[in-house]
Structure 1
Amino acid sequence: MTSNLSPAVPATVPATAAEAADAALVAELLGRYLVTLDDEEPDDTWARGLFTEDAVVTFPMSRHAGLAGLAEWHRASLTAFASTQHLGSPAVVSVGGDRAAFRANVLTTHVHHPGGDRPPLFRAGTLASGGARRTAAGWRMDELSFRVLFTEGQPPQRG
């Protein structure tokens, strides 16, 4: 992926109304992603509405490249928990033409399935960063990654 916008570079204030509108659309993608993880079951339509065909999503414990299988990968990750809640800060977005970079803070509470020997909750504070590009269908994320800043509790056991 070639881009002169880096998710690690602080975003600047949009210079034009068009850039501000594009930045709002990109921020809304991340917000929709986080909310739908908690109350919807990701499917291929969900993935196509958020990501490009060549998207790369990186969690602290795994990575997925490409749109094919992305919804299933998310569903498999979510089954480790009885429920989740993802709370995101407003995204800071830099737009340059048909590319954008974004960053946001995310606090996630994961509820373990009952009956185990773990504390009921596992929490993580992360920095979400990534990129998006304008497609024929509108803005879509082409990269999304989460860097863990802190955790509380115990993560799920790996099988």
Structure 2
Amino acid sequence: MNVPSGSFSAGSGGGVDVGEVRKFLGERLPGYAVPQTITVLDRFPLTANGKIDRAALSAQAVEPEGPPEEDPPPRPGLEERIAEIWAELLEIPPPGRGRSFFALGGDSLLATRFADIVRRRLGAELSMRRFFATPTIAGCAEAIGQEIGDPHSHEVEEGVL
């Protein structure tokens, strides 16, 4: 699975909040380009020529610390069907309703395949523009539900906004 990763040097400032860095990047980059793993370094490894040593940088990449963010499971019905399709396409267990397709290893080609499967299995058109705007199971369910006239696709759970 090819997920974006990133590294940065905090310099002498230290005390960097990786969550804030991810939020900053999320406001400026499309969802598929936001790194899912971010490594904080004291300084970048350099080659003998003074350039960033990408091989050494890749070797230093680490998985995110702590438990993954809590993500509720897909709701019964349309969200479950979408989760099953994603699991099939991405070769992963069915993901939670708030996970990004791109964070799970999806790319634009798989997104196109997803839209084709939605058209064949669910009889709905999902535009790439809409998919890229909300690449989560919940977002896709709302878009597809509106397309097929499912009144339950965009209901808000009681007490959740």
For normalisation by structure 2, the TM-score amounts to: 0.23
Which structure features the higher share of strand residues?
Answer: 1
For normalisation by structure 1, the TM-score amounts to: 0.23
Higher relative contact order (CA 8 A, sep 6+): 1
